[in-house]
Amino acid sequence: MNNCLFCKIINNEIPSEKVYEDGEILAFKDINPAAPVHILVIPKKHIDGADELNQEHTELIGKLILTVKHLAEEYNLDKGWRIVTNIKEHGGQTVRHLHFHLLGGGQLGDFGLR
Ligand code: 5GP
Ligand code: ZN
């Protein structure tokens, strides 16, 4: 049984504010936004994180990043924006389903070791 939070969002078992969807990709608003625009872009196929990516995923990764870019355009983030993907414990990954954060809508801070 798949107990993954984002798989449940994909399957509509948990509600979310969807902003884009196609056969392979879902994008929805982050429940606890860290910036005025904070959207999560995820593959519908469960992948644990960027550490589990391989050659088979090359096309999917391209589509995910292009989806982030298209959303940045849709939300008029012409002054700039950021893509973040956290990996495992030290990377701060709290949901173990690959996701790209789109952050923007204001000046973003520096990041690094806490
Ligand atoms: P991570 O910390 O793994 O990089 O990112 C997980 C993100 O998922 C966090 O920014 C968190 O706010 C968001 N999140 C956690 N649970 C939910 C939820 O149920 N719905 C939505 N929309 N976002 C969630
Ligand atoms: Zn999942």
Tens of pLDDT along the chain (114 residues) come to: 589 999 999 999 999 999 999 999 999 999 999 999 999 999 999 999 999 999 999 999 999 999 999 999 999 999 999 999 999 999 999 999 999 999 999 999 998 887
Q: Which atom of ligand 1 is nearest to the CA of 34?
A: 10
DSSP 22: -
Q: Of all protein residues, whose CA lies closest to atom 16 belonging to ligand 1?
A: 31
Q: How far is the CA of 105 from the centre of ligand 1 (A)?
A: 19
**C-alpha triplet 38, 10, 32: angle, nearest 5°:** 25
One-letter amino acid at 92 equals G
pTM above 0.95, yes or no: yes
Residues with Cβ within 8 Å of 108's Cβ and at least 6 positions away in sequence, in order, are: 35, 80, 82
Q: How far is the CA of 79 from the centre of ligand 2 (A)?
A: 32
Q: Which atom of ligand 1 is nearest to the CA of 14?
A: 19
